Structure 1
């Protein structure tokens, strides 16, 4: 049986990205792609579980982890999205879901062992509650709440966000919870990031990570930790939160919150300077820390 630091579960997409100047770029994306790359470059044993139509199996070539560590189930369709960005920093966008792959089930999980089961979804309904609960019996569960808040109306493809009805039921099973500031506001009713983190902790999650375009925040029920993003450009903005979260939770297997947060924030800062999944090395990230985070103490 194979053993992984993290097993990352999610759909890989084909994204049609249109920037603020109306330039079109077609690229494979999805939280599972960016997250697995992030964990892998830091030296962690990483597996990925995905689901797509057999006609789209070439999307699997976009994974940067070892091909033997990608577990794919085939279904009738794949997830495809269109993203229209309205600003150069890509902070404002309109996303449309063109097609969806089938939801995951417990049967899609390979016979492997993992320290962390990382749910890296894109849309509500991809993961049944029972799957999250079952994985919590095997290891720590990490959840990106995007897959709990973002819905798609498949009559027109439009996507929208609404609060997660089952948050009080499922959050107690979550060791690591990732959200961005806007998603956290939907779940908590406040736009103060520290208050958001504390409310989400009270709802049951053990460690909360909230991303923002200026910094990353972590709360463990005792203390608020923050670390600034210091990317020199934003050409690789897509996949920011996924890269951060995977780096953080995998580093937490061996290091303190402060150390894991530093490596996660440096990893995403470096990744944001180049489009696509990160393809650097742990040495590159450590050199980035020496150059741009010499003032950060952990």
Structure 2
């Protein structure tokens, strides 16, 4: 399998763009359980774009930051003509993840800064794609009606952390609030992603299957829930699961973003079981190494041959 990627040639985005990932650039501070850590370029847009590109997909990004970080998106492996930058009127988003155990499952997440809201008016003229992925980080990242506007142009894939996570007014630690407009907007969403904790906040049940069922009942076409043991998908008819088999957890940050982007792009060429297996295998491989996934389909296939088959 070659690592060469093919892009549609043309000024800016074209109808050939398969996925456009929309969200904020984020400067991550990642601390381990001993308090040791480092800063890195991160955020859901970064992790998602790498995962989508690894599958050989045409990817565009609409990314927002303060002017001093304007050039950072151009070091990503996205074709320059497929990058659209928006100016944040405040700061560039920055988040600290402090892990509390060696398994990287318990953590304290703190909003160090948040960029200004991405609005409908900021969407570029003629923007066109098959899937619009809203790769949010916390409440306030998007104007709500962006969901309805994009749903008129293609499929909307939404990560619920961008609507449930809210910085505490005093400590800035992330807390979870129920999104009271979910039943208004869910019918406009094709793919919805939560982790297990977010699913419980959203639906009121810790039963992941019941939570996935409720999300579909409220209008989404396919609900996806990540957990440290597996990924679950429900489409209104069947439940599908695939285990996660990471060999290490140094790359735990970005697990959900990577899984979701790999899944939704693979669904354009495969059925749910195949797309779910591919996404689960890719993220299991990714979790061995800090940062976004920088392999390709051949790497995922090799990993799957060893640990899934």
Q: TM-score range by the shorter chain?
A: over 0.9
**Displacement of 1:154:** 4.9
d(CA) in 2 for partners of 1:166 and 1:80?
26
Say yes or no: does 1:188 pair with 2:198.
Answer: no
User: SS of 1:283's equivalent?
Assistant: helix
What is the rounded CA distance, in whole Å, between the counterparts of 2:25 and 2:169 in structure 1? 18
Structure 2: any 5+ residue segments left out of the alignment?
1-12
Listed as ranges, the gaps of 5+ residues in structure 1 are none
Residue in structure 2 matched with residue 80 of structure 1 by the alignment? 94
Equivalent of 1:99, from 97, 103, 113? 113
1:36 equivalent in structure 2 = 49
| Residues 74 and 83 in structure 2, CA contact (< 8 A), matched pair in contact too | no
Per the TM alignment, residue 283 of structure 1 is displaced from its structure 2 partner at its CA by: 1.2
* SS at structure 1 position matched to 2:56: coil
> Does 2:139 match 1:149?
no
> What's the secondary structure of 2:111's corresponding residue?
strand
Residue 142 of structure 1 and its aligned partner are, at CA, apart by 0.3
Consecutive aligned runs of 4 or more in structure 1 exceeding 4 Å deviation:
none
CA contact (8 A) 2:282 2:300 kept: yes
Match of 1:163 in 2: 178
* Residue 243 (str. 1) matches residue 282 (str. 2): no
Equivalent residue for 1:198?
A: 213
Does structure 1 residue 66 correspond to structure 2 residue 79? yes
* 1:44-97 per-position Cα deviation (integer Å, ceiling 9, x unaligned): 101111111111224325523223322111123210122211111211111111
TM-score, scaled relative to structure 1: 0.95
Moved more, 242-251 or 281-290: 281-290
CA RMSD for the aligned pairs?
1.3
How far is the alpha carbon of 1:16 from its aligned partner? 1.4
Structure 2 distance, partners of 1:58, 1:19, is 29
> 2:228 is paired with a residue of what secondary structure?
coil
CA displacement at 1:12 relative to structure 2: 1.4
The number of residue pairs the alignment matches comes to: 294
Alpha-carbon deviations, 1:132-155, whole Å to 9, x = none? 100000000000000110011355
1:154–1:50 distance in 2 versus 1, CA, 3 Å? farther
Deviation sequence 1:200-226 (CA, Å, 0-9, x none): 111111100000000000000000000
- The superposition leaves residues 213-244 of structure 1 with CA deviations (integer Å, 9 ceiling, x where unpaired) of 00000000000000001111111100000000
Tell me how far apart the structure 2 counterparts of residues 13 and 148 of structure 1 sit (CA, whole Å).
Answer: 17
Q: CA deviation at 1:42?
A: 0.5
User: Could you tell me which of 30, 53, 58 is aligned with 1:45?
Assistant: 58
The equivalent of 1:5 in structure 2 is 18
Q: Distance in 2 between matches of 1:67 and 1:241?
A: 26
Which runs of structure 2 are paired with 1:202-221 in the superposition (5 Å)? 202-221=217-236
